[in-house]
Amino acid sequence: MLLVIEQLLNGLQLGITLFLMSAGLTLVFGIMQVINLAHGSFYMIGAYVGATVAARSGSFLLGIAAALSAAAVAGMVVEVIVLRRLYRREHLDQVLATFGLILFFNELTRIIWGRQPLMMDVPAWLGGSIELLPGLPYPIYRLAVIAVGIAVAVGLWLLFSRTRVGMQIRAGAANREMIAALGVNIRLLYTLVFGLGTLLAGLAGVMAGPILAVESGMGESILILTFVVIVIGGIGSVRGAVVGALLVGLVDTLGRAFLPAMFRLFLEGAAADSIAASVASMAIYILMAGILVWRPRGLYPAHWS
Amino acid sequence: MKTLLTALVSAGLLSASLAVAAEPVKIGMVTTLSTKAGYLGEEIRDGFKLAVDQEKGTLGGIPVELIVEDDEAKPEKGKQLAERLVKKDGVRIMTGIVFSNVAMAVVPKVVREDVIYLSANAAPSQLAGKGCHPNYFSVSYQNDNPDEVVGQYVTEVGHKNVYLLAPNYPAGKDHLAGFKRYYKGEIAAEVYTKLDQADYAAEIAAIRAAKPEAVFFFLPGGMGINFLKQYAQAGLIGSIPLYGPAFSFDERILKAVGPAALGVKNRSHWTHDLDNPANRQFVEAYRKAYGRTPTLYASQGYDTARLLGSALKAVNGDLDRMADLKAALKKADFESTRGGFAFGNNQHPIHDMYIREVIQTPEGDYTNKTVKKVFSNHVDAFAGECQM
């Protein structure tokens, strides 16, 4: 039972990281109609800048602040220089251009930081683990990641439903020409939205830094999961991103954790382990296929599309 | 080969190769310099180059020209490069491949074309057993060696219940098989994870629940860094000891893992603290030339170059005496950084194997310290299958 709770927490934590990534991606996709394959690169930028600044200054918080600003600034620069020219082009052009950006950023990090993966440690005040229940220790850092993710989800909801900028963003997504005619600077708005998306990716990256290897190309493995999340959740919907991310995080984690035991009930050891490993790595794609059969546009299709 | 050269020359493509005999001996190095794993090729290349530089552009007194190419860790790319090196550059000695899947695409083909291949890292079982070849020498090891040592050591230490973890791909299964060959106790579970998985929280929680006496893992590259950090964060490093092959504990990975790897036992056939004159000289020269402590891969590159030097000297640089060159290589008449070194019947090394431990130096860096010799003059498991 304790193991189930622990695995649920692990799933939740993976889901939260995926949510931070997919929130930005789904916003950009839903509002600007741009497929941004380079979203993982901003995750990597966040991790690299965060690890470097944290190591140099000795302050984890300073590292986070630097990571967020670097990811947001890099995102806005990319939007102005590259993506702005692609809004009216076909999706294939966008895919090609943003794929090129992945190669560019991966090589850039190799040039700046070398091939050596960077070291980023959990800050002392978040190190260690606490006993949530007797016999269930859980790393404090992972709990902190969960807390930050929930705070961001609430913050985004407030931003979109309660503020003027949020309203303009929603309106811009519904009808670009109309809101421009009403005197809103839609170009600036798009740049800001893109920067917000990459800032969230940078946050996910810097928070993953102490858990994962900070290395060139680290953004690609999470990018695939992120696309699965936004397809499940419904492209363009932040609410869908929340639900999709939690679903993917939980299904992936619980599948890896409990499928081997399930298969061992009716198969002998080695065969069960190898089949379980294969099925566990397919689980989220089976989930995606199932949801798409049931709801072809995802769980919460954005109302404007 | 000669008819081919003549054909190329007459086609006017290779006028320069008329002077082949007077030119230095060409050595084709196909290795992995880009991608995340690029540092592995960098180490092999730098180790090899150090030996050449120490002899002022020669090996065994014979002038050599090293042609380095990047295979990007892709088998098909490695194959292309090898073809070009052999056909266009007229290379007859090759080395350098990091990954076994690249080696399988390149080595069987080039050795049939009368090219000598000296492996400085990858050594898949297929090339050690039935697929052994007179033109193929592994200077590094045989892929299963590292895991066999750990299996033996874990048995010696007295762990009775071990949890196994590896990525779900052929090399992952090979490595666990190597471990099981010498491990005598029970296996708590054999878990295969996705290749390039980033988060191991689920597996770590399962390990905690299974309460094994020890964990053996094979997770090369970034996967190993991720697993080690998360294992330490979960507070398991003190309670359930961790064992692994050297790949996750070279000095460059330790920089990224830091304290999380402290105290972990791993195996190797070489460590920078091995006390023999050749090794002391190598480690010092490498540090001076490149400003970092050499890894296992660098020592293998260096040994490969030194071995080649001894053989080139024996035939006075004349590559037309291929049979003599091979016989000289097989003698392994060079000062290896490992101390003792000899080739078995399948032309794979017979060497000592050690268990080492990750420690922190007084300067605050993380490195390995040799703890115990587990095997003396270890012969790989496939030597018997080789008919040569």
Sketch out chain A's domains with CATH numbers.
Answer: 11-118+141-294 (1.10.3470)
What is the pLDDT at residue B4? 47
Token digits for B125? Answer: 């079982």
As a whole number of angstroms, the distance between CA A17 and CA A7 comes to 15
Distance from the Cα of residue B275 to its chain's centroid: 21
Residues with Cβ < 8 Å from A217, sequence gap 6 or more? Answer: A44, A106, B35, B36
Count of A–B CB contacts within 8 Å? 117
- The pLDDT of residue A136: 83
The closest CB to that of A253, out of B39, B198, B202, belongs to B202
User: What are phi and psi for residue B230, nearest 5 degrees?
Assistant: -70, -35
> Of B281, B115, B330, A107, whose CA–CA distance to B97 is shortest?
B115
**Does residue A201 contact residue A78 with C-beta atoms inside 8 Å?**
no
Give the closest-approach CA distance of A164 to chain B in angstroms: 38
Tens digits of residue pLDDT in A102-124: 999 999 998 999 877 888 888 88
Mean pLDDT value across residues A162-184? 83
Contact criterion met (CB < 8 Å) for B235 and A139: yes
B190–chain A Cβ distance below 8 A for any pair: yes
Using CA atoms, how far residue B326 sits from B20, B193, B315, B323, in Å, is 21, 42, 10, 5
Reading the block at residue A214, the tokens are: 């900070």
Q: In chain B, which stretches have pLDDT less than 70?
A: 1-22
Single pTM value for the model:
0.82
Is the pLDDT confidence value at A173 over 80? no
DSSP state of B187: E
* Residue B177 forms contact with A (CB below 8 Å): no
- Cβ of B190 and A116 within 8 Å? no
Whether residue A129 and residue B226 make contact (CB cut-off 8 A), yes or no, is no
Residue ranges in A88-217 assigned as alpha helix (H): 91-113, 140-162, 164-174, 176-181, 186-208
Torsion of CA B75, B76, B78, B80, to 10 degrees: 170
Closest approach of chain A CAs to the CA of B383, in angstroms? 27
Find out whether A197 and A39 touch, Cβ atoms under 8 Å: yes
B198 contacts in A (CB within 8 Å)?
208, 212, 218, 221-222
Distance from CA of A251 to the nearest CA of B (A): 11
Chain A residue with minimal CA distance to B193? A277
Please name the amino acid found at residue A294: W
Task: Tell me the domains of chain B and their CATH numbers.
Answer: 2-141+275-343 (3.40.50.2300), 145-268+353-377 (3.40.50.2300)
Can you tell me the distance from the alpha carbon of A112 to that of A110, in angstroms, rounded to the nearest whole number?
6
Residue of A nearest to B259 (CA): A121
Distances (CA, A) of B123 to A62, B100, B119: 46, 6, 7
Supply A222's token pair.
Answer: 């999470």
- Taking CB atoms and an 8 Å cutoff, what residues of chain A touch B162? none
Please report residues of A whose CB lies closer than 8 A to that of B196. 221
**CB-count burial class (<10 Å; 0-12, 13-18, 19+) for B89:** middle
Q: Which residues of A touch B36 (CB under 8 A)?
A: 115, 117, 215-217
Q: Is B42 on the interface with A (CB under 8 A)?
A: yes
Half-sphere exposure of A72 (CA within 13 A, CB side): 13
In angstroms, the CA A124 to CA B233 distance is 11
Sequence-separated (6 or more) residues with CB below 8 Å from residue B118: B93, B94, B95, B137, B138, B139, B304, B307, B308, B329
H-helix segments, B158-267: 170-182, 201-210, 222-233, 251-257
Average pLDDT over residues A55-81: 95
B388 to chain A, minimum CA–CA distance in Å? 35
Which tens digit of pLDDT belongs to each residue from B25-81? Answer: 999 999 998 777 788 899 999 999 999 999 999 999 999 999 999 998 899 999 999
Chain B residues within an 8 Å CB radius of A204:
none
Tokens matching residue A248: 């993917």
The token duo for A256 is 């890896």
Query: In which element (H, E) is residue B65 found?
Result: strand B62-70
Cα–Cα distance for residue pair B346/B369, rounded to 1 Å: 31
Instruction: Tell me if chain A has a CB within 8 Å of the CB of B205.
Output: yes
Nearest to B173 by CA among B143, B207, B211, B212: B143
Cα A283 vs. chain centroid, distance in angstroms?
A: 19
pLDDT at A303: 57
Instruction: Tell whether the model's pLDDT for residue A63 goes beyond 90.
Output: yes
A120: nearest CA partner in chain B: B256
Structure tokens at A181: 């005619």
Q: Contact B220/B195 with Cβ under 8 angstroms?
A: no
